[in-house]
Amino acid sequence: MADPNKPSEFSLSTFYRINADDDLGAQNSVVKIDKKLLLDANQLAIGPIISEGPDSIVYQGLYRSMHVAVKVIHPDIASTMSPELQEKFSREVSMLSRVNHDNIVKFIGAIVEPTMMIITELMKGGTLQKFLWNFRPNCPDLKLSLTFALEISRAMEYLHQNRIIHRDLKPSNLLLTEDKKIIKVADFGLAREEADDEMTTEAGTYRWMAPELFSTEALHVGVKKYYDHKVDVYSFSMVLWEILTNSTPFKGRNNVMVAYAAAMNRRPSMDNIPAQIAPLLESCWAKNPEDRPEFVKITQFLENFLHSITSPNTEPSLREAAEYSRSKRKNHDSPATNCLMDRSKLKETKKKRRSLCFRFLQCIGVHVM
């Protein structure tokens, strides 16, 4: 129904109040949520849809006159929710309530009746994915792109320090402020605390998933494998590549082909990647998780690089990036027609791996004996 108390400055055309006693088909009394985290459903007003996924819908909303985003679990799913899915909802609420970082979306609270909802701050700038789409075929400014990458890295560094793996880092889960100057990590639906034992492998989105989550042999849903927080570093490398090129990783390939390419150690093209960024990118998407840097090192690298391109000698940096791009095309190391680097054809010698590691350590200012 219409909301007669809607603030006049709020321009949403459709609004209605959620009543706690509405019958939406949900029976969620068994969901275990700290009472301190629960909000009054009668104070929440729902507006237009922001986005929709297989398990939930995200709406614009108002909570006590505060602009918010409301993630609503589909009522038909919520009404028959298994103990595993209830635990997943509780885990997402718990993790969001624990984190506090400038580059992570702010948690407001949760509602379990009449249906399960998670309320967070409203990010009016939309997703990084839509932001990039609006720039195509061009790319955003290099400084802005790397500023976004740095903010993402800082958020992920914070999560990993708190033993939280996001497991679904991608442009559609990265949100912008209204002025499009600050980016924040969102959607903790697949996040979990890092475990010392095996975890499920069907976590994430194929184009951004680390190769250790795949297998060249078929795996059944629910099969578990051992992996750690370095899966987020791989996903970050795909996001960084996407920001710098404004292209979709493995574009034109279906999920099976993407999974096979990642498992076979194929990576997106390095054409048009600034020369100084190449060692970082190659380290982050290394096949062996142990070869990937920690986010604390990635943050340090990006801070140093941003400082270098904002100093008076900016032009040489950009010129070197252009020269690197031209040399890559001339050498045909990464044909544009294929848009993949078949690294299995390269010589994977220990000498090369030491060289790559050395280049990355030099970039972040680490003295190597």
Sign of the dihedral defined by the CA atoms of residues 315, 320, 325, 329, in that order: positive
Q: If we measure between CA atoms, which residue out of 48, 28, 46, 47 comes closest to residue 38?
A: 28
For residues 269 and 329, the answer to whether their CB atoms sit within 8 Å is no
Count how many Cα atoms sit within 13 Å of the Cα of residue 126 in the half-sphere of its side chain: 10
Question: What backbone torsions phi and psi does residue 57 show, to the nearest 5 degrees?
Answer: -125, 135
Peptide bond just before 114 cis, omega within 30 deg: yes
Q: Which one of 21, 22, 141, 168 is the catalytic residue?
A: 168
In the residue annotation, 168 being an active-site residue is answered as: yes
Distances (CA, A) of 120 to 67, 79, 247, 356: 9, 23, 29, 41
CA distance 156 to 168: 12
Catalytic residues: 168
